[in-house]
Amino acid sequence: MPLRFEPTMTRSHKTAREIYEDVKANPARARFGFGSRLAIVNVDFQQAYTRPDLFPKTAYVTDPDQIAHVNRISALARARGMPVVWTRVAYRPDGGDAGVWGTRTDTEDSLQNIKYDSDRHKFDSRCEIDFDADLLFTKRMPSAFFETPLASYLVWRKVDTVVVTGGSTSGCVRATAVDALSHGYRTIVPEECVADKHESYHFASLTDLQLKYADVVSVSEVIGRLGEADAR
């Protein structure tokens, strides 16, 4: 007879947040750690996702100080000659370059209806972007690496560690973090710097990232690391 096993998947009544807190508290969890040269990759800080007052159906806020934290670590990295990257998404007038990702809905708020230079495409004005020093580009798919200049740019800048911020935690942040690891980078996700629509998706994704693909740390740890770089 062929082998047959009963399901072994763990079942729990704990919430996604509680499971994440358990994982975060595990002192035996090994880290990838920081390397010697960081890049800050800020994913999709555009109004469609950061301004619930303007776009309540698509925007989300997890930590009210998220953008302030991102501005601080970006400024520290920039001051030390380390690259800062900002991405956003937008599509051509017919939305065709969204591919199959743009086929599930077709409303005013749908992904493929984010058009270039629209209010939804604009970076949040609270973001402190250095347009002369930072790399900015519009992507089409979840990962900041997919069909973009990011991979070659990080190689040129001799980066070994990618710090991923932005949203959503369960979507473009997770996809970017997985691709960062796949490209051979130590990958760091500062918890206060990522956001999602629902805490279940958010904390389940942080758990997944922490267990497999990234070090999920406090933003203060990233600030401390960039402070250490000041002495080098």
Return the amino acid letter for 202: H
CB 114 within 8 A of CB 48: yes
Q: Where are the beta strands (DSSP E) in the chain?
A: 38-43, 84-89, 135-139, 161-167, 186-190, 194-195, 215-217
Cβ-based burial of 187 (10 A; exposed 0-12, middle 13-18, buried ≥19)? buried
d(CA 150, CA 154): 6
| Residues 6 or more apart whose Cβ sits within 8 Å of residue 7 | none
Task: Tell me the angle at which helices 16-24 and 199-208 cross, rounded to the nearest 10 degrees.
Answer: 30
CB 126 within 8 A of CB 76: no
Q: Active site residue: 114, 159, 172, 226, which one?
A: 172
172 part of the active site: yes
CB neighbours of residue 112 within 10 Å: 22
d(CA 148, CA 107): 27
| Residues 6 or more apart whose Cβ sits within 8 Å of residue 223 | 72, 73, 76
Catalogue the active-site residues: 172
